[in-house]
A = this chain, B = another copy of it.
Amino acid sequence: MTGVLTIVGLGPGDARHRTPAATEAIADAEAVYGYSAYIDACDDILRPDQFVVRGRMTEEKLRAEQAVDAAAGGRRVVLVSSGDAGVYGMATLALSNAYEIEETARPEVRVLPGVTAALAASALVGAPLAHDFACLTLSDLLTPWEEVERRLRAVAEADLAIALYNPRSKGRPWQLDRAREVLLERRAPTTPVALVADIARDGQRVELTTLADLDCGKVGMTTTVLVGSSTTRRFGDWLVTPRSGSGRSAG
C-alpha cells in the first residue's frame, strides 16, 4: 500500500501566517521532513510519536528523495518548506522524484500553498505589489547570470513591480549591485525600494529606500527586496502601487 506525501509551505516566520491546512497536515503526519530551521518553525505541532528528520541546508535533494520514499513505503509524510513550497521551495524536487517511481507504487502527492516572502514583505510596507508584479531570484547557482540579467531587463521594461528572492549572500556578494545597475537603466533613481528581513521572526527589519540610495551591503540572506513600478508611491511609511497599471497610460 502506498502512502501520501503532503508538501507544505509554512509561511514566513512564526505560526501566525501558517494556514490551518498546513497545520492539520503536519499534525496528521507520521513522518515530517524539513530543513532544521523549518522543523523548528513547526515545533509547536510536532509530537514525540512522529518520525522527524531535521535536514541540512545543502541536502534538499536527499531530503526530497527520503520523503518520497517514506510515502511510497506507505506512510503519511509531510515535507515542509518556509513560505510557499511551490515558490523556490521543495515542491519541484519532490514531485520530480515521485514521478520517477512506477505509477503503481507512486504515493499520492498533495501540495498546500503558503504565504510566500514576497506577499509577507509587501504587507509589511503597504501594497507595493498591488498591480502586476514578478518574483525573480538573483541566485545564479542554477541559472547563468546573463539569463538572470535578461529577465531583470524584461521585467523592468514591462514596468512590473518586482520581488527579489535570494538577493545576496556571502558567496554571492555582487549580484544585487549589478541588478540595481540593470534596473536603473530602465527605472527612475527615485523608484521606491523596500528591504524586509527576518519576516515574522525576532529581529524583523523594514527599511524603505530608493533604487538610487539602495545600499546593497545592508542586504543579507534573509532579506526580501521589493522594487516598485513607475507608479509606486511612498506615502509616509507605506509603499502603494495603484491598480491602474503603468504610469505611461495614467491619465
List residues of chain A with CB under 8 Å of any chain B CB: 11, 15-21, 24, 84-89, 91-93, 95-96, 99, 103, 109, 111-116, 119-120, 122-124, 126-137, 142-144, 147-148, 150-151, 153-155, 157-160, 235-236, 238, 240-246, 248-249
Contact = CB atoms under 8 A, between A and B. Distances in A.
A114 B111 CA distance: 17
A131 B88 contact: yes
Given A123-B112, A126-B91, A238-B95, A158 B150 contact: yes
A132 to B, nearest CB: 5
A119 B130 contact: no
A24 B18 CA distance: 13
Contacts of A96: 235, 240, 242
B86 A147 contact: no
A122 B95 CA distance: 13
A99 B154 contact: no
A19 B137 CA distance: 26
Main secondary structure of the interface of A (DSSP, over half): mixed
A129 B89 CA distance: 10
Given A116-B119, A235-B96, A88 B243 contact: yes
Nearest to A245: B143
Contacts of A151: 132, 158-160, 246
Contacts of A159: 151
5 contacts: A16-B24, A88-B243, A91-B126, A115-B115, A129-B135
Given A120-B113, A158-B151, A242-B92, A86 B20 contact: no
A17 B11 contact: no
B122 A86 contact: yes
Contact of A244 (B15, B136, B143, B160): B143
A130 B17 contact: no
A123 B133 contact: no
A87 B148 CA distance: 24
Contacts of A116: 119
Given A115-B19, A142-B245, A160-B151, A87 B134 contact: no
A7 to B, nearest CB: 8
Nearest to A159: B151
A112 to B, nearest CB: 6
A240 B95 contact: yes
